Amino acid sequence: MSSKLPSVTSPPWDIGTKRVVSLVIVLVSILVASRVGSSAWTTLLVTLVLAYLMSPLVTFFERRVFRFGYYDLRRTVSVLLAWVIVLAALGLFVGLVVPAMVAQFRQFADDLPDLIEGTEEDLKNSLDRPITVGDFEFVPWDELQKLFKTEDGDTSGDVISARLKDAATTLVEPLLGILGSAVSFFFNALVMLMMLFYLMRDGPKFVEHLVGSIPESYRGDTRRLMHELGLIWNAYLRGQLFLCTVMGLATYIAALILGLPQPLLLGLVAGFFEIIPNIGPALSQVPALLFALTTPSSTIAALDAGLLYAVVVSVSYMVLQQLEAMFLVPRIMGSSLDLHPFVVLVAIIVGASLAGVLGVILAAPSVATVRLFGRYLRAKLLDEELFPTLPSGVAQQRGFVYRLMFFFLSKRFPSVPPEEWDAWQPEPEPLDLSSDWLRRG
């Protein structure tokens, strides 16, 4: 057998062949992606999100703590240490919060029959009065009893209470569905953890290989697009975690002040629904309003169960949401997610139909990502300037920190007249788009 390598004799492909092959590759990729089950895509997306959220902690350990050995060794040790810290924080949360939450759930289950009976009495007192419309007179409570009438004609209060209890029980079914989904998710936990480990350890290498596979003339554009994508997803994912924590804690404190029952449960509900843009904060009011309509305040004697208490609770929730929108969201999110509420609502509907709950959560950053690529394509098609200015999200975050530090340092070591503090703006640092940009940050 000859040791000489065979020569390549095929001619270069013409433009038509290249287009046909590219089209076939795209169609085959779409066909394969459509055959993959939704649970597999969900596991992959959750793994990518978790790896992205934990990457700053791994990078911090790699650069600041472990400066010995090869890169792979430093990265592996940093990933393991990050896992230890995250699992310890999760265990602390479970040990401190879950028992209190379970206790409040039990108290709520014990109080539910009394709440239903109290609601029935309030309805009877409010609706057991005749209403006259022209020549027609009717009593709303009697009409309500007819709706709950059984086949034997029984319209007693026990029947109404039983129907109300059945209605309350049906509300538990969606929670059981969520619990079943969580159980099925844990069956894939081992695979997801393995994927998460490799993504956290070798994620920068994957990105470098991706950039290296791009034609050289487009590598700079690719790095800049990835930088802009990092701003969008960093602002949303890590920003949402911070907003969920802050709003959950603020709601818990407000519920304590207003004397609402189960304040910890209300705080957790508010923090959970915060991940749903625009709709979530409004939905988090519902359980608090139900409590206000059925139970008096335990701290403010003037707030008895009824409409006035519900209005006070609703106004308190809206004040918290407005403070969040004015002070927290602009600083945390920046302008990378500057989307109109109508666009976000449409994205939520489309995301829910495509990916369920995960599609709802990731609707806003997905639309911002599509907008970024749309702007890039527009600039290339119309020969416009690409990325003419520094991303405003970075400028806002960096400017706020610098201005805050400058303000206090100027107070301690005055060198600039106070009237010039507001006019001071730090010069933005130039973007580093060198080949090792991804490895360094």
pLDDT at residue 216 tops 70: yes
pLDDT at residue 438 tops 70: no
One-letter amino acid for residue 428 of the chain: P
Given the structure tokens 């999760």, which residue do they identify?
Answer: 90
Inter-helix orientation angle 157-170/172-187, to 10°: 20
Question: Which one is predicted more confidently, 429 or 95?
Answer: 95
Q: What is the pLDDT of residues 161-178, one digit of tens each?
A: 565 556 555 555 565 566
Q: What is the pLDDT of residues 28-47, one digit of tens each?
A: 988 988 888 777 787 788 88
| Interval 211-219 mean pLDDT | 86
pLDDT at residue 415 tops 50: no
pLDDT score of 160 = 55
Closest CA to 121 of 285, 293, 292: 293
Given the structure tokens 């509907």, which residue do they identify?
Answer: 349
| Burial of 333: CB neighbours in 10 Å, binned 0-12, 13-18, 19+ | buried
Closest CA to 101 of 230, 304, 268: 268
Given the structure tokens 């009717």, which residue do they identify?
Answer: 138
What's the alpha-carbon Rg for the chain, to the nearest Å?
29
Closest CA to 319 of 388, 250, 243, 365: 250
| Burial of 68: CB neighbours in 10 Å, binned 0-12, 13-18, 19+ | exposed
Under 8 Å CB-to-CB from 124, ≥6 apart: which residues? 141, 157
pLDDT score of 250 = 93
| Burial of 276: CB neighbours in 10 Å, binned 0-12, 13-18, 19+ | buried
pLDDT score of 248 = 92
Tokens encoding 201: 């350890």
Tokens encoding 177: 């569905």
Q: Where are the domains of the chain?
A: 218-373, 389-428
Rounded distance between C-alpha atoms, residue 249 and residue 245, angstroms: 6
Question: Which percentage of the chain shows pLDDT scores above 90?
Answer: 9
The answer to whether the beta carbons of residues 286 and 260 sit under 8 Å apart is: no
One-letter amino acid for residue 277 of the chain: P
- Long-range own/partner contacts, residues 118-126 (CB < 8 A, 24 or more apart): 118/294, 118/295, 118/305, 119/164, 119/293, 119/294, 120/157, 120/160, 120/161, 120/164, 122/293, 122/294, 122/305, 122/306, 124/157
Beta bridge pairs of residue 133: 136
pLDDT score of 168 = 56
- Secondary structure (DSSP) of 28-48: HHHHHHHHS-HHHHHHHHHHH
pLDDT band at 203 (very low <50, low <70, confident <90, very high): confident
pLDDT band at 439 (very low <50, low <70, confident <90, very high): very low
Rounded distance between C-alpha atoms, residue 169 and residue 109, angstroms: 11
Rounded distance between C-alpha atoms, residue 255 and residue 261, angstroms: 8
Q: Is 55 helix (H, G, I), strand (E, B) or coil?
A: helix
| Interval 297-313 mean pLDDT | 87
Rounded distance between C-alpha atoms, residue 39 and residue 48, angstroms: 14
| Interval 67-73 mean pLDDT | 73
| Interval 86-110 mean pLDDT | 78
pTM of the predicted model as reported, rounded to 2 decimal places: 0.63
Q: What is the pLDDT of residues 148-164, one digit of tens each?
A: 555 554 444 555 556 55
pLDDT score of 417 = 47
Given the structure tokens 């790095």, which residue do they identify?
Answer: 223
pLDDT at residue 399 tops 50: no
pLDDT score of 305 = 80
- Mean pLDDT estimate for the chain: 76
Q: What is the pLDDT of residues 224-267, one digit of tens each?
A: 898 888 888 888 888 888 889 999 999 999 999 999 988 888 99
Q: Is 335 helix (H, G, I), strand (E, B) or coil?
A: coil
pLDDT score of 396 = 41
Rounded distance between C-alpha atoms, residue 330 and residue 324, angstroms: 9
pLDDT score of 319 = 93
CA 333 to chain CA mean position, Å: 12
pLDDT score of 159 = 55
